[in-house]
Amino acid sequence: MKIVVLEPLGLAEEEIVSAFRNILGEAHELVIHNDRVDDIEKLKERAAGADVLVIANMPLNGEVIRSVDNLKLISVAFTGVDHVDLEACKERNILVCNSAGYSTSSVAELTFGLILSLLRNIVPLDGRTREGKNKDGYSQRDLCGKTLGIVGAGAIGLKVARIGKAFGCNVIAYNRSVKDNLKEMDIRQTTLEEVLSESDIVSIHVPLNENTKGLINKEKIDLMKESAILINTARGPIIDNEALAKALMEGKIAGAGIDVFDMEPPLPLDYPLLHTPNTVVAPHVGFATKEAMIRRAKIVFENILKWIEGNPQNIM
Residues taking part in catalysis: 235, 264, 284
Q: Which residues contact 28 (CB under 8 A, 6 or more apart)?
A: 1, 2, 3
Enclosing H/E stretch for 173 = strand 170-174
- 5 close to 28: Cβ distance less than 8 angstroms: no
Q: How many residues does the chain have?
A: 316
Closest CA relative to residue 223, chosen from 265, 264, 177, 174:
174
- Computed on alpha carbons and rounded to an integer, the radius of gyration of the chain in Å comes to 21
Instruction: Give the containing element (helix H, strand E) for 140.
Output: none
Residue type, 51: D
Give the C-alpha separation, 9 to 33, whole Å. 9
Sequence letter at residue 125: L
- Report the distance separating Cα 313 and Cα 316, nearest Å: 9
The CA distance from 63 to 45, in Å, is: 12
98: which strand partners?
A: none
> Containing H/E element for 194?
helix 192-198
Beta sheet of 255-258, edge-to-edge order: 188-189, 170-174, 147-151, 201-204, 229-232, 255-258, 279-281
Helix locations, 92-186, DSSP H = 104-119, 122-130, 155-166, 180-184
DSSP tag of 146: P
